[in-house]
Amino acid sequence: MIRKQRGFSLIEVLLVVVLLAVIIPAMMAGFTAAHVAIKDARMLELAKHIAQLKMEQIMADPYGALPAPGDEQDEPFAGFPGFTTRSSGKAVFSEQAGLEVTVVVKYQFLQGHREYKMVAIHYGS
Measured CA to CA, the distance from residue 74 to residue 40 in angstroms comes to: 22
pTM assigned to the model: 0.72
With 80 as the cut, is the pLDDT of residue 94 above it?
Answer: no
Measured CA to CA, the distance from residue 2 to residue 115 in angstroms comes to: 74
How confident is the prediction for the chain on average, in pLDDT?
Answer: 85
pLDDT reported for residue 8: 83
Whether 73 contacts 22, CB under 8 Å:
no
Greater pLDDT, 59 or 108: 108
High-pLDDT (> 70) share of the chain, %: 87
Whether 113 contacts 105, CB under 8 Å:
no
Residue 83 burial (CB count, 10 A): 21
pLDDT reported for residue 1: 60
For the chain, which residues make up each domain, given as ranges?
Answer: 10-123
Measured CA to CA, the distance from residue 10 to residue 26 in angstroms comes to: 25
